[in-house]
Amino acid sequence: MKVTVIVFFVITAALTFVLNKWGLALPFIFASGFAGYGIARSSTAHLRLLNDLPNALRVFLASLGGALLPFDRLFIFPSAAVLLLACSVYLNDEYQRRALRSLRVGKRGGSVALLGIDGSGKSTHSKTTSGWLEGRGYRVKLMPFHTYLFVERLSSISGSVRGRASARRKNPVRPVFSLVDNLILQVTSSIGSRLEGTVVIYDRFIWSTYIKYEALGYPVGPLSPVYLLPRPFFAIILDVPVDKSLRVIDERIAHIHYPRSVLQQERDRYLDIARRYGYPVVDATGSFDEVQAKIEGFLSPLFPAVAAGSRR
């Protein structure tokens, strides 16, 4: 289907060069024709909402982009043409079917970030929360923000020595690489999630990267507006005292042992974010089950259980 929409884009653009403004009628003609083709192929001889409409919509978007491409007097038209083509390629059939099902049953997704200093239980609770949401009928993606797509390789090229905090502080370009890396991860993982009924669980968030760099003394001040601009649909701060964080870190062989002052600065930052955006703060010093119950209590109203027949 990706090849099909590109073909419609090219054909419409070529015809619009000849037809001029009359080419704007082609997207409606092509989309209607494609929908009619779907009806003709259907054994039930009617338009199947979850099969034919997604393809017809993609053809319409691609053809509309092709119709706008020849109008090059203003930069906005070619730009819109490229954007519409990208949308037609991205909006695959399965995505649209999930979105239509979600709209039909009233199921909405979103992104949830679990935040807190090291040792607060973010990773463990993220995994458990993912399973809990799946049991409630949601499609769930678990995204860890403590891993990178490419920043480690780029940082090593620029002279960073991985695993040594003192060397990291000497590399001012690492926060820039991390920002680009995290933005790509955040956008690609969350785009369209709310509409299609998918819940993205973030183990940490792009804010966590900024907070860590700030506490370590990196020159991230000029980057703060961009780092702090993205926001998840919802966030929960798991709060533990620095003493507990240090004890947990000491039990982990491969974990970087950050100074108390670094962890305290991070904790203060997370609590400030909770106050600023109204996010709940969960005391994570209790038992695992107690903390998990509080997390689920905050998420239950946001993601109500879906009826078994409407989960697919």
What is the mean pLDDT of the segment spanning 232-251?
92
pLDDT band with cut points at 50, 70 and 90 for residue 91: low
**Neighbour-count burial of 76, counting CB atoms closer than 10 A to its CB (0-12 exposed, 13-18 middle, 19+ buried):** exposed
**Neighbour-count burial of 237, counting CB atoms closer than 10 A to its CB (0-12 exposed, 13-18 middle, 19+ buried):** buried
pLDDT exceeds 60 at position 163: no
Q: Higher model confidence: residue 245 or residue 81?
A: 245
Angle formed at CA 5 by CA 185 and CA 14, multiple of 5 degrees: 125
Out of 13-27, 231-245, 247-261, the most confident range is: 231-245
- pLDDT of 270 reads 97
CA 240 to chain CA mean position, Å: 27
Domain boundaries, the chain: 2-91, 107-310
What is the mean pLDDT of the segment spanning 177-186?
83
pLDDT band with cut points at 50, 70 and 90 for residue 260: very high
- pLDDT of 169 reads 47
CATH 3.10.180.10 fits 107-310, yes or no: no
- pLDDT of 300 reads 94
- pLDDT of 23 reads 79
Question: Measured between alpha carbons, how far is residue 40 from residues 63, 187, 189 in Å?
Answer: 21, 38, 37
- pLDDT of 161 reads 43
- pLDDT of 9 reads 82
Q: Are 119 and 248 in contact (CB under 8 A)?
A: yes
pLDDT exceeds 80 at position 192: no
CA distance linking residue 173 with residue 8, whole number of Å: 43
90-94, 176-180, 298-302: which range is least confident on average?
Answer: 90-94
What is the mean pLDDT of the segment spanning 245-254?
84
pLDDT exceeds 70 at position 111: yes
pLDDT exceeds 90 at position 252: no
SS3 label, residue 217: coil
9-52 pLDDT, tens digit each: 888 888 887 787 777 888 878 777 776 766 666 555 444 545 56
- pLDDT of 290 reads 97
Averaged pLDDT of the chain: 80
Whether pTM exceeds 0.95: no
- pLDDT of 164 reads 47
123-154 pLDDT, tens digit each: 999 999 999 999 988 889 998 876 665 555 55
Question: Measured between alpha carbons, how far is residue 208 from residues 197, 212, 268, 270, 284 in Å?
Answer: 26, 6, 12, 9, 18
pLDDT band with cut points at 50, 70 and 90 for residue 100: low
264-304 pLDDT, tens digit each: 999 999 999 999 999 999 999 999 999 999 999 999 999 98
- pLDDT of 299 reads 95
| 107 DSSP assignment | -
What is the mean pLDDT of the segment spanning 193-217?
88
pLDDT band with cut points at 50, 70 and 90 for residue 162: very low
